[in-house]
Structure 1
């Protein structure tokens, strides 16, 4: 889940498929040609100048988009296997893109061969096993829309446009995490194309070590084409966003601190501090969720009582709730994320985040800044106890840490490197400040891979799991085919 709340941006839930006639390639790369000659009619190769090429390389975080030699829109797992064999044999750099919401360049983009998972779009509910088979090319909006008439749901993303594959393979914090754990805790099986081209169904019974590695280990072990997920009953929910002027930030902070006393697992909250350069002020926001049509009295009363500048809170469908956030990972802008560990939200931590939001916002205002956002994501201490099976992420489950997020958006590529350096420095400053406030064990908190900025050491994310993951990588991918793709690498 990506927790940036963008004040004033239009939310769009469009998942329309782009139709276009294949345009003639400008230059036909030899590896692209080899792939085109070996894949079945279920797959296609597109070149620069073709609208389907542009769709294939598109990332909502346009700062992580790259111009590949071609886009291969794979249509079957067998074709993915053929593609991986060619890429491994020719040692060609490549990328695999599911929903396209990665905020780190190279993670799902490349200057080599771009594999688009767009055609893996199945959504199949099995009522007898209470599971759903979900294709790796989907975004969660698609999944929620398909499951809504069936009265069931899965543990997925919290805002619109989040890709199923990247979210799940990195861990996955959800509105339903308090009740059921992370996304990785609710995967029953993975359909995986191994680097040698073999297509397998990976479960705890068939290969427990590989099952462990896929639960948070991202794209190190091959290409996942489908997930089998646990399904749960879903009614209408209550929630939405309230935006507040900066002058009531202390009241928003106090309400957020008090929310940590809420033990109802159906309740969820994200509070954000957002610097808006157009008004040169901080606008706070609370995104509230309750997994029923009406929340019990008292849970959100303090937030509802604070004077606001805008509110969109109601009883609604789960999909409507997800799309109520101004975050939209179908709308392009330059975006950067960084993980901020936390062991407990206090008024002092709230002041740190508010002051940092102001300072960074003022620093970046004249550098094509759109928004600076420091986001407080609160979960119950019990969320890491929902799974007795070991997972690649989190490497420890006895630390009740919170996955706070730092998010910057801007317009000009001129400032890409500067924004990266500033977000890294800001994170370090806030970690040291929290330690000074008494959070001594903050150094033991594992970093969430889906938020961590490029350059984060593997040890920070995977800790003591690294030896096992390295050994698994050597078994599954001895020639390091997946090392030709971007992302966190063992």
Structure 2
């Protein structure tokens, strides 16, 4: 008991010290900022504190000592130098859609990039400069008057910065690869405060590391992405009754095995919520109208609702929102697959029902993401993620949401167990391989770093040591090298 008492006392002292340190740095930042930036404090009548610390689920938010909204890269440079000097904990938030607690939130200094919200289309180079404070809905809307799109998020509310730094499976992946495969430059504020533009030519090692390596190397203030000329696309969501499951699974398997048109993609979803099994699908075609035959099987299944039509990329993405009721908690996790079979699809459906029944009050969801074999062939340059490109791998997304009546630890354990079970099924069934890279944007906190970056870890750590020798970015959450 004496040892426990001493431990509790030590933790309390450490917490007070950390809080005091963060407040001191908040004051230093406030004094050093230009008029382009602001610092906000909890409880104050002025400022943007509430919006700055807000995340899409309550479990990813924390009460920071203060929030900072930098408005220029120069102010970001000042901030990161002050944080590094004080060794104060901090976090950087783009869109706030991380499912992992502490990855873009902190009890220290919360940096919100929301003022970096410009989108500039460069007609001559065919690229767009995009601020890290935006969601993909906003990016698509800004580019629409120019008749172009970028290879970004597939559903509403996803932040562009974290999505891109983690890899980025997108509606054009069959045609152009991951979002990181389309990035041509990063404006980066290094941990020492130096502002640089990183390209394949200027710094090939750092360029490699930023393509999937997360927030280990500094703070991005601008992404430059390739653009693609597009008008309307076709697609949307369909919801089915539970009785449609067998027909939906047959259609998914047929699509996965036979459809080779790179413009066609689907995201089937199985959800168990409030005692009901709810199958659904999001259809996408990179063209202004419904293609012949490809989606006939899905459209022929009796449905509960259907919202499928020609529309802009931005409108299609916004039509599938990820908003959650206030107070909802949530985690993501991922399983890596090399294909789909009837056995695997049945196992995924069974997991949905099993955990949905076992965890009352929890919305249990599994989202299937089939892609063509050639998705990694569009880029011949190595990237931090995935750490191997042959064979092609695909992510299966697990998403559980719940309210505070269910302990977080119970949900965490269930998701880990389900992912491990499905991985074993896939490997045994020939639709998965052992030690495949887990998509960092889905991986649940606690996932071993080797399961994400594999053989790339030694190179990434070497680059990290060169760029951030004092481990300033280690003061922030995320997948730490």
State the TM-score, normalized to the length of structure 1.
0.92
**Is structure 2 residue 103 aligned with structure 1 residue 112?**
no
Q: How does 1:262-411 map to 2 (within 5 A)?
A: 262-277=259-274, 280-328=275-323, 333-365=328-360, 368-369=361-362, 371-411=363-403
- The alpha-carbon distance between structure 1 residues 428 and 28, as it changes in their structure 2 partners (threshold 3 A), is closer
Query: Does the Cα contact within 8 Å between 1:161 and 1:329 map onto a contact in 2?
Result: no
Deviations for 1:167-213, whole angstroms, at most 9, x for unmatched residues? 00000010111111101000000000000000000000100000000
Q: Matches of 1:106 and 1:72 in 2, distance apart? A: 17
Deviations for 1:220-254, whole angstroms, at most 9, x for unmatched residues? 00000110000100110110111111111011001
1:435 Cα deviation (Å)? 2.3
Q: How does 1:189-200 map to 2 (within 5 A)?
A: 189-200=185-196
Query: Does the Cα contact within 8 Å between 2:211 and 2:383 map onto a contact in 1?
Result: yes
- The alpha-carbon distance between structure 1 residues 414 and 27, as it changes in their structure 2 partners (threshold 3 A), is farther
Higher relative contact order (CA 8 A, sep 6+): 1
SS at structure 2 position matched to 1:442: coil
1:159 Cα deviation (Å)? 0.6
Map of 1:160 onto structure 2: 156
- The alpha-carbon distance between structure 1 residues 485 and 327, as it changes in their structure 2 partners (threshold 3 A), is same
**Is structure 2 residue 434 aligned with structure 1 residue 438?**
no
**Is structure 2 residue 50 aligned with structure 1 residue 54?**
yes
Q: How does 1:454-465 map to 2 (within 5 A)?
A: 454-465=445-456
1:436 Cα deviation (Å)? 2.6
**Is structure 2 residue 248 aligned with structure 1 residue 252?**
yes
Query: Does the Cα contact within 8 Å between 1:399 and 1:445 map onto a contact in 2?
Result: no
**Is structure 2 residue 421 aligned with structure 1 residue 429?**
yes
State the TM-score, normalized to the length of structure 2.
0.93
Map of 1:12 onto structure 2: none
1:398 Cα deviation (Å)? 0.9
- The alpha-carbon distance between structure 1 residues 224 and 332, as it changes in their structure 2 partners (threshold 3 A), is farther
1:438 Cα deviation (Å)? 3.2
Q: Matches of 1:28 and 1:125 in 2, distance apart? A: 38
**Is structure 2 residue 243 aligned with structure 1 residue 243?**
no
Q: Matches of 2:308 and 2:415 in 1, distance apart? A: 31
Q: Matches of 2:365 and 2:181 in 1, distance apart? A: 28
User: Which of 53, 67, 77 lines up with 1:81 in the alignment?
Assistant: 77
Q: Matches of 1:381 and 1:330 in 2, distance apart? A: 38
User: Which of 443, 448, 455 lines up with 1:452 in the alignment?
Assistant: 443
Q: Matches of 2:326 and 2:180 in 1, distance apart? A: 27
Map of 1:187 onto structure 2: 183
1:281 Cα deviation (Å)? 2.0
Q: Matches of 1:28 and 1:119 in 2, distance apart? A: 22
**Is structure 2 residue 213 aligned with structure 1 residue 217?**
yes
Structure 1 unmatched ranges of 5 or more: 1-25
Deviations for 1:320-364, whole angstroms, at most 9, x for unmatched residues? 111121433797621110001111111111110111101100111
Query: Does the Cα contact within 8 Å between 2:22 and 2:89 map onto a contact in 1?
Result: no
